[in-house]
Amino acid sequence: MKQYLDLLKNILENGCEKGDRTGTGTKSIFGTQMRFNLQEGFPLVTTKKVHFKSIVHELLWILSGDTNIKYLTDNGVRIWNEWADENGDLGPVYGHQMRRWGKYTLSKFEGHEFYVEEEIDQIENAIDLIKSNPMSRRIIVNSWNPSDLPEMALAPCHCFFQFNCRPLTKDERIDWLMNFDHTIHSPTALKNAPEEVFESRMDELNIPKSFLDSHLYQRSCDVGLGLSYNIASYSLLTHMIAQITNTIPGDFVWTGGDTHIYLDHIEPLKEQMKREPHPLPKIKLNPEIKNIDDFTYGDIELLDYECHPHIKMKVSV
């Protein structure tokens, strides 16, 4: 995660001091980007311990469409507690927008006109497009819904993401096949086989045809605390949707708008920057899961995560 440490260094050296909604104050830069090849490892920060359990449960909670913190608190996740009301409600935040975006359609009945509210499942629509039209440039999920912003406990920070399918070469498909079928002793013969024979063999074994890339735009980013969660969460989502759509996780691209360090995080982050990163861990999903709504916590496993100790930093609310 050298890219993450480089971003910290850039903000500390080049950021401007700004006031902010919380009253804490920040050092901030505007407009930055990082790219992670998910085939090289799972991009979870290793220069401090990151609570992966919270990342998984929050993502499952969002994907369920839930907007009450009960599921999170029942599973020991407290990251949304500061924003919930006395009933645990947060308003129409991420889960609502991704799975139940509101749409009003004009209808007529017996000469009367009226509007009927419908719901748009953006996650399912994205999955359907990846399967049916993988080269589409419209595989987008948007959480920034201006009409619902006043009712949200916290306006979406990670507010827009897009999927991209990138065709695999013949060599890449053969490499993927050999990872799963060790009886293939002559990849050259397979590569040189007639196209219809090659495609038949690939289809028979359900070998993917594309990488699945994703790109998140984050309008506001707390680099000290939130960014490590955001990178891991959307990388995990890319892995999950790749499995559902029979694609291979490719690149995760992260773009930040107001990318900031809170002033009271500066000293802890200077300590973190002295630490040498460990090799990236890996992610393992239950291969039997074929529907995005069927994933549970037990279906997601983090492997070989070696990290430095936790660094305590205060959440600005």
Q: Extract the tokens encoding 305.
A: 């995560």
- The letter for the amino acid at 133 is N
d(CA 219, CA 158): 6
Nearest to 216 by CA among 148, 269, 174, 163: 163
Catalytic residues, by residue number, are 157
d(CA 158, CA 172): 32
E-strand ranges in the chain read 16-18, 26-37, 101-109, 112-120, 140-142, 158-167, 210-222, 248-262, 282-285, 300-303
Q: Extract the tokens encoding 39.
A: 């085939």
Q: Classify burial at 25, counting beta carbons within 10 Å of its beta carbon; exposed 0-12, middle 13-18, buried 19 or more.
A: middle
User: For the chain, what is the radius of gyration of the CA atoms?
Assistant: 22
Sign (positive/negative) of CA torsion 274, 275, 279, 282? negative
Burial 88-119 (b: 16+ CB within 10 A, else e): ebbbbbbbbbbbbbeeeeeeeeeeeeeeeeee
